[in-house]
Amino acid sequence: MIELKKEELMKNRGYSATLSAGYHLLADNFKAIFRHTWVYVLLLSICLAAYTSLSVELKEDTLITIIIAAFITMLASLVTDVLFYSRVTTLLNDQSERWNIGRISKLLGVWILLAIIIGLVIVGVFVMGMGSADALSAAANEEEMMAQPDNGTLLLKTLAVGTAICLLALVLVFPFVYTIMKYLIEPERRLFSTLFGCYGRGLRYWGYIFVCELLLCLCIGIFSLILCLPMYLVQTVQALDQSGIIGGDESGLPGWFGWLNFGVSVATYFVYSFISLIEFFVAYYIYGSIETRISERLQLTAPEEL
């Protein structure tokens, strides 16, 4: 089992110290992490690149085949993502890779279920809003139309409700940063009792988690924008070409351009996968800092022993 060079986990850290610890955990151990995960990262990058390449190949005669292929590559991306993070988690909790695959797979299943529920709620809001708008449009007399809000107002309200639901979901997701890492680090923990039973602890330190994640997203976002720019440009050119083909025009791109898109995407996803590990390592130290704060608070509030 490889030993990573890392700072003490159970330590009360501020925002910058937490981000710094996560960065150094990746930077100081990059060679070891790369050596143990590059195969999974390469497979993940190929799957993601294949998925994004297929997403712009919207030819009417092969549409069904492309959709099926894109769905298969998406599933393959999820599988390789689980394998990748299971190997990384093994370096942190000293558990077997098989053990971590089970835990991360369960977490992925819960997140997919929650995403489906939230998506259905948002779609339901929009459907009800559009249905009300259609009902208003079908009103028989002008007096009834004047007595009720117009379609534009109703649509704005529907958009506002949908946006509020998205923002609420975003706000409520931050405490899971703590509970997810707690579930991965502590082997005796159960899935639902940890994710939701310990949710209140994460909620208590919501501000700390939010600021850390916000600063991290700003830093990674700026770097990712520069890193992904060539991929975005190539994919935009290919998407515009496909739009012209759908409109009846001939392709203006050489035959090798699709392979260029695929190669640039693989390289971009490969680099980004390692950079994104900072998020995982920062969450690792967020968990340690919150656990330390909880322990210190309990010591302060515990009655003194005689």
- Residues 194-217 have pLDDT tens digits of 999 999 999 999 999 999 999 999
Mean pLDDT across the stretch 2-13? 87
Mean pLDDT across the stretch 43-60? 78
Question: Global pTM?
Answer: 0.84
| CA 274/CA 295 separation, integer angstroms | 33
- The CA distances from residue 145 to 125, 132, 206, in Å, are 22, 12, 46
Contact assessment for residue 272 and residue 41, using Cβ atoms and an 8 Å cutoff: no
Q: What percent of the chain has pLDDT over 70?
A: 84
Q: What is the pLDDT of residues 237-271, one digit of tens each?
A: 888 887 777 777 777 788 788 889 899 999 999 99
Mean of the per-residue pLDDT values of the chain: 84
Q: Where are the domains of the chain?
A: 15-298
Output the pLDDT for position 60. Answer: 54
Judge whether residue 305 has pLDDT over 50.
no
pLDDT confidence bin for 140, thresholds 50/70/90: very low
Judge whether residue 20 has pLDDT over 70.
yes
Output the pLDDT for position 1. Answer: 59
Judge whether residue 102 has pLDDT over 70.
yes
